[in-house]
Amino acid sequence: MYPALLAVCCLVSGRVHTSSGAPIAGAAITIRTRAKTRTTTDATGTFAVQASPGDYQVSIAAQGYVAATVDVDVKNNTNVDVTLQPLDAPTLRTIAAVAVDGRLARIQGTIPSITITRAQSEQAGQERVVDALQTLPSVTFARPDGGSQSSIAVAALRGPDPSESLVTLDGQTLNDGNTGDVDLSQLPMAAFSAVNVTEGLGPEDSNGSNTFGGAINLISLQPTQTNHVSFQETGGSWGESELWLNATGTQKKLGYAVAVDDHNMRGYANQYVPLYSSTDPACRPCTTALGSSLASHAALANFTWDFSQRANLSARVFALGNIRDQSASIDGIDGNAASPTFGQFIGPGNQSLAQNLRAYQVRGQLPFGSGELTGELSTDDDAVSISGNVSNPAYDVTHVDRRYNGALTWQRSFDTSEYAIGGYTRYESLAFLDPLDALQTVGQTINVGFIRGGIQATKELKFEGGVFASRYTTFGSNLDGRLGAIYNVNPKTSLRLSFGTGFRPPLLIERYIFPLDQLAQDQNGVFLGQGNPNERPEHATEYELGFSHIFPTDATLDVSLYRSNLRDPIEIYYPYQLTTPVNRCAGQTPSAPIPGCISINSNNGNAVYTGAEVRFVQRFVPEHLFLTAMYGLNVAYPKDFTADFSNPTSGSNLVNYQQFAGIPQQQGSLQLDWAEKAWHASASAIFRGKNNGLGRDPFTIFNAAVGFHLNKQTDVTFIGTNLSNDAAARYTVFGGGIPYPGLTGPIPTDLLGVEPFGFKFQVTVQQ
């Protein structure tokens, strides 16, 4: 198509298309160095320009789509593959996918955004979403029922005390103000194209500003321009087996992507023990089976229909179902030397947890006036069923959590700016079993409107921002604003700044008033777990400063400094002053309560989250070896709290200016990826510092994978996990963790463990 250029070095060429593979004609291509070169894509979405060797900044813009910019080091003929997304997708960041090598590209948006692709996860042997997320130093996992693979794993970004961060699937919200617990432990990477993590102000601006710290967006398996079928079978330690199948392609205007996954494990813990039951006085002890088996199944179907370059319709269905034996997680060994059962197995006994997650989304886009109109209808539900005894009443709750959502956005783009106006209405309901196994239902309606956009003020400077108005039927209205700027000092260096406000609504179950006879009483006679209809949202003001630079040696450095000031955080009030030194709550009954002797969720005090994150990527000559190093410092502490409050997740007392329990100040990871000819390998180290969620001294988990392509279609990979057996344990040791410094002395914590050294053997076939 470009015969005159093909004989000249160097040629920068590429193709611009939608996520389904449909070409985008007329996209403006700008290649910048000291001068500018402009061209447009042809009817097939391709372009090509002549360029001398050197460093360039390539910008791609098309009507109705988010513009993309990538830094390209041209040493010889270079091809750029660009996937543009509609403008209704999240702003305050650039989300178009530009495949030169994404790991070396510097951050182009006003907040940090890291994408872990499916290919990167597979090379590292990461089969679950949590495996990929744990490499990021901004992610903290709450593990209320232990550290095994069958246990609940809830993710928080930048350690908000820790509370769960917003989780979305293709922009569709999967959690909100209900139970607040989307368990990510069993989500298979086989159903997704990538996992995107944005930090700071929260990426899903079209979902409102009801988040802070950041958000996790799961990107479903996408249609491809050509037809592909692939499957993988895995066998490993402790009876693990997994089989997944993917099929993607395009038939005329219809794009499709289908994924199924079947995962089973006998479990590391699988034995009978003499258990001293905390729920059955006659069991002193009883022979009890403690296991950690699981059976998980997932399916995804994603379809797109392109009516034209600017009009399309998509439909996506995702389903996840699993059942897990949590007996080994909720029971463990008594580590309290003063206890009569010291060194013995104790706990509530047997328990199984069943999770069912469903998410449906229909989305369409078409030209409207001088802009683009996008509409979305979606619904999802997260159901958890507990069979057996309960260890953690905050998470082990039988419930069905549903959302119904309708959204509409109109957007318009210009040569140097774009803006969008829109909103959504959402109804949420939570049905749960109270302590007497009676079904209760609560709900709320949310209406959100927003205006957001960006402007390229100069060649070097771009501003982006938005204003968001939210109204909840449960607590009222909220108005938030966000502003960001990015300044390109040169094609290799950029500075970014962002600030704004956000909030997190109370959980619906936190606002429910239980009859006193349904609440448990502790040894002091205090009623535990009462709801509070007067709870207010938590409000945060966030500031961030970032720096990104590409070195001539094929290396990229990115640094972020941030601070979040949290007002009115929701914590647990407990009447310590009424129970010490003389217990004034003793003897109360549901029919004769004593004022103040109830533990209740309530807003109190303030909290601060401040820290730094560093990410360094190096590609070594001869370009077969990649190094990715990440480090995070997260200082998170309460202030202005009274002595009568504790944290709902960790259960520890809140000590002013003391790091929150379970949030290590230092986290990091180091990963090496190598590929040459038919061989490929990966090795990683994941570090967690003091005050970590396992209650241990600082530890490092080492993983490795090595594989070989038997032919163009077949790959064989061997994976080793936790090679050094660090932090490994079969059972929790209650009271055996590193003590947390409380107001009146050290507070015991539990010692959790993960699986020891294990192995997996994978065979992957692609056609």
Model pLDDT, residue 20 = 52
Strands 645-646 and 570-573: antiparallel
- Of 193-197, 662-666, 678-682, the one with minimum mean pLDDT is 193-197
Measure Cα distances from 65 to 19, 415, 540 in Å.
11, 12, 31
Over 60: is that where the pLDDT of 421 sits? Answer: yes
Residue 193 CA to residue 132 CA, distance in Å, equals: 13
* 282 confidence band (pLDDT: 50, 70, 90): confident
pTM here? Answer: 0.88
pLDDT digits (tens, 9 = 90+) for 178-237: 555 789 999 999 999 888 888 887 544 556 777 778 888 898 998 887 889 999 999 999
What single-letter amino acid sits at 105? Answer: A
Model pLDDT, residue 520 = 84
Over 70: is that where the pLDDT of 331 sits? Answer: yes
Q: Where are the domains of the chain?
A: 3-84, 113-728
Q: What is the mean pLDDT of residues 341-357?
A: 93
pLDDT digits (tens, 9 = 90+) for 496-524: 999 999 888 888 888 889 999 888 888 88
Over 60: is that where the pLDDT of 99 sits? Answer: no
Higher-pLDDT residue of 66 and 15 is: 15
pLDDT digits (tens, 9 = 90+) for 567-586: 998 888 888 888 888 899 99
CA dihedral (72, 74, 76, 79) in degrees, to 10, reads: 20
334 alpha-carbon distance from chain centroid: 33
Positive or negative, the CA dihedral 101, 123, 723, 710 is negative
Over 80: is that where the pLDDT of 90 sits? Answer: no
Over 70: is that where the pLDDT of 252 sits? Answer: yes
Over 60: is that where the pLDDT of 1 sits? Answer: no
Model pLDDT, residue 189 = 95
Model pLDDT, residue 682 = 96
- The single-letter DSSP state of residue 129 is H
Model pLDDT, residue 612 = 96
Q: What is the mean pLDDT of residues 696-723?
A: 95
CA dihedral (649, 652, 653, 657) in degrees, to 10, reads: -80
What single-letter amino acid sits at 13? Answer: S
Q: What are the tokens at 629?
A: 């190093």
Over 50: is that where the pLDDT of 6 sits? Answer: no
Over 90: is that where the pLDDT of 644 sits? Answer: no
pLDDT digits (tens, 9 = 90+) for 38-52: 788 876 678 888 787
Measure Cα distances from 230 to 258, 259, 713 in Å.
11, 10, 9
Residue 540 CA to residue 542 CA, distance in Å, equals: 6
* Range picked from 40-44, 301-305, 636-640 for highest mean pLDDT: 301-305
Model pLDDT, residue 177 = 55
What single-letter amino acid sits at 54? Answer: G
* 93 confidence band (pLDDT: 50, 70, 90): very low
Query: Measured at the alpha carbon of residue 595, what is the angle toward residues 593 and 601, in degrees to the nearest 5?
Result: 100
Residue 447 CA to residue 470 CA, distance in Å, equals: 6
* 95 confidence band (pLDDT: 50, 70, 90): very low
Strands 699-709 and 345-347: unpaired
Inter-residue contact 726 to 763 (CB < 8 Å): no
What single-letter amino acid sits at 349? Answer: G
Positive or negative, the CA dihedral 430, 432, 434, 437 is positive
pLDDT digits (tens, 9 = 90+) for 544-562: 999 999 888 888 999 999 9
Given CATH 2.40.170.20, say whether it is the number of domain 113-728: yes
Strands 332-334 and 732-734: parallel
**Which residue matches tokens 């910008």?**
59
Tell me the CATH class for 3-84: mainly beta
To the nearest whole number, what is the mean pLDDT of the chain? 86
Model pLDDT, residue 74 = 77
Over 90: is that where the pLDDT of 757 sits? Answer: yes
Positive or negative, the CA dihedral 308, 309, 310, 311 is positive
Over 70: is that where the pLDDT of 677 sits? Answer: yes
Model pLDDT, residue 203 = 47
pLDDT digits (tens, 9 = 90+) for 138-165: 999 888 888 888 888 888 888 765 568 8
Over 80: is that where the pLDDT of 67 sits? Answer: no
Inter-residue contact 129 to 182 (CB < 8 Å): no
Over 60: is that where the pLDDT of 601 sits? Answer: yes
Over 90: is that where the pLDDT of 543 sits? Answer: yes
* 100 confidence band (pLDDT: 50, 70, 90): very low
109 alpha-carbon distance from chain centroid: 19
Model pLDDT, residue 58 = 83
Higher-pLDDT residue of 138 and 62 is: 138
For the chain, percent of residues with pLDDT exceeding 70? 90
Over 50: is that where the pLDDT of 2 sits? Answer: no
Inter-residue contact 266 to 242 (CB < 8 Å): no
Inter-residue contact 29 to 38 (CB < 8 Å): yes
List, in order, residues 6 or more apart from 52 with CB less than 8 Å away: 10, 74
Residue 259 CA to residue 494 CA, distance in Å, equals: 39
* 276 confidence band (pLDDT: 50, 70, 90): very high
Higher-pLDDT residue of 349 and 17 is: 349
Q: What are the tokens at 428?
A: 């949420």
According to DSSP, the residues that pair with 404 across neighbouring strands are 379, 427
Inter-residue contact 270 to 150 (CB < 8 Å): no
Over 80: is that where the pLDDT of 32 sits? Answer: no
Question: Helix, strand, coil % (nearest 5) of the chain?
Answer: 5, 55, 40
- The single-letter DSSP state of residue 510 is G
According to DSSP, the residues that pair with 154 across neighbouring strands are 142
Inter-residue contact 212 to 201 (CB < 8 Å): yes
Burial (CB count within 10 angstroms: exposed 0-12, middle 13-18, buried 19+), residue 203: buried
What single-letter amino acid sits at 159? Answer: G
Over 60: is that where the pLDDT of 92 sits? Answer: no
Higher-pLDDT residue of 24 and 44 is: 24
